[in-house]
């Protein structure tokens, strides 16, 4: 046997930037096969650099999605366990499909800008979303770069948020979401107890790349600690408007087989929505991150 035959097979794939704001596509990597340590290290660097990775043309099973996601850290389960995939409860079904009068998934996940699970003490490091069924029209996901948003924050706002904490709550817009989507279930007392409010720095330091990022969102951030209500509301509105400007955004137009992996520590995201008569179904896995500092 030659030495070449003993050498580990190099996994060949390309990483191509998608926009000036953020994002890169990973082309030519088949995630049904084990990812070598070298390939994983390259993906890790690319994720830190581009914040959103789009793995094209993936034909993986939910179990394979869970296994690949778990290489990045422990998986988190969503409080709406009604929408977990029965055979793979770490997978959240994101879907607008109603079958026999019942929603099969969370149809309005992401209708407000947010960072996943920021209402937890340890919010999400990142999330994977794998396309299962895509609408012919719409259904895009938008990502906004919060490192750049921080970097370009006007000096007056930067001074106003210096050293401040903000409160995050899963319940902030829950009633509003139920009003818009009457199928959204009432939360049980156990579910409410599982999502107490938490506090995080408004400007966090990314634990891996060391860069600062804004960390507030219209979906989950309720108030700035130690500010009067009117000042807190005005400051948050200014931050929400600043952080989601067009120049910070990459708009992902889904292709069949896409699996997108974003960094919740450096981007906000938003589901743009699609017409009600168009079916959309994706599988999400979410990885636990650090307590923001
Ligand atoms: C989410 O916010 O996790 C879902 C995003 C989407 O459906 O595009």
Ligand 1: centre distance to CA 114 (Å): 10
> Homologous superfamily of 12-288 in CATH?
Clavaminate synthase-like (3.60.130.10)
Residue 1: is its pLDDT beyond 70?
Answer: no
Q: Are 199 and 119 in contact (CB under 8 A)?
A: no
40: confidence class by pLDDT, cuts 50, 70, 90: very high
Residue 5: is its pLDDT beyond 70?
Answer: no
Active-site annotation holds for 284: yes
- Is the CB–ligand 1 distance for residue 269 below 6 Å? yes
Q: How many helices (H) and strands (E) does the chain have?
A: 8, 19
Ligand 1: centre distance to CA 260 (Å): 10
211 or 10, higher pLDDT? 211
182: confidence class by pLDDT, cuts 50, 70, 90: confident
Active-site annotation holds for 269: yes
Query: In angstroms, what CA-CA distances link 260 with 69, 158, 188, 273, 274?
Result: 11, 31, 31, 17, 18
Q: What is the mean pLDDT of residues 126-138?
A: 98
| Backbone φ/ψ region at 116: left (φ over 0), alpha (ψ -120 to 50), beta | beta
Ligand 1: centre distance to CA 261 (Å): 11
Spatial strand order in the sheet of 221-224: 198-201, 165-168, 221-224
Residue 4: is its pLDDT beyond 80?
Answer: no
Prediction pTM value: 0.95
- Is the CB–ligand 1 distance for residue 131 below 6 Å? no
Q: Are 32 and 38 in contact (CB under 8 A)?
A: no
| Diameter of the chain measured on Cα atoms | 75
Integer Rg of the chain from CA: 19
**pLDDT for position 11:** 86
Residue 67: is its pLDDT beyond 70?
Answer: yes
Query: Taking the domains of the chain in order of start, what are their residue ranges?
Result: 12-288
Q: Are 221 and 166 in contact (CB under 8 A)?
A: yes
* Beta carbons within 8 Å of 250's beta carbon, 6+ residues apart: 18, 19, 21, 22, 23, 52, 142, 143, 145
Chain-centre distance for alpha carbon 92: 12
- Is the CB–ligand 1 distance for residue 66 below 6 Å? no
Over the stretch 221-267, which tens digit does the pLDDT of each residue have? Answer: 999 999 999 999 999 999 999 999 999 999 999 999 999 999 999 99
């Amino acid at each position: 046997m030659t030495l070449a035959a003993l050498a580990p097979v190099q996994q060949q794939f390309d990483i191509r930037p998608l926009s000036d704001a953020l994002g890169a596509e990973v082309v030519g990597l088949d995630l049904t096969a084990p990812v070598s340590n070298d390939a994983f290290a390259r993906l890790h660097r690319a994720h830190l650099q581009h914040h959103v990775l789009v793995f094209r043309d993936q034909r993986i099973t939910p179990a394979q999605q869970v296994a690949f996601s778990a290489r990045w850290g422990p998986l988190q389960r969503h409080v709406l366990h009604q929408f977990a995939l029965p055979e793979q409860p770490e997978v959240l079904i994101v879907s607008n499909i109603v079958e026999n009068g019942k929603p099969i998934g969370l149809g309005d996940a992401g209708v407000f800008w947010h960072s996943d699970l920021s209402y937890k003490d340890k919010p999400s490091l990142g999330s994977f979303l794998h396309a299962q069924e895509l609408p012919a029209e719409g259904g895009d996901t938008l990502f906004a770069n919060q490192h750049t948003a921080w970097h370009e924050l006007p000096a007056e706002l930067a001074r106003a948020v210096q050293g401040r904490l903000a409160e995050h709550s899963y319940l902030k817009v829950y009633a509003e979401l139920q009003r818009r989507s009457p199928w959204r279930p009432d939360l049980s007392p156990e579910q409410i107890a599982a999502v107490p409010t938490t506090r995080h720095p408004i400007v966090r330091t990314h634990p891996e790349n060391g860069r600062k990022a804004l960390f507030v969102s219209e979906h989950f951030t309720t108030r700035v600690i130690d500010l009067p209500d009117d000042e807190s509301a005005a400051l948050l509105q200014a931050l929400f408007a600043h952080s989601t400007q067009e120049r910070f955004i990459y708009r992902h137009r889904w292709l069949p087989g896409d699996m997108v992996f974003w960094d919740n520590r450096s981007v906000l995201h938003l589901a743009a929505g699609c017409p009600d008569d168009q079916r959309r179904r994706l599988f999400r896995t979410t990885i636990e991150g650090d307590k923001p500092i």
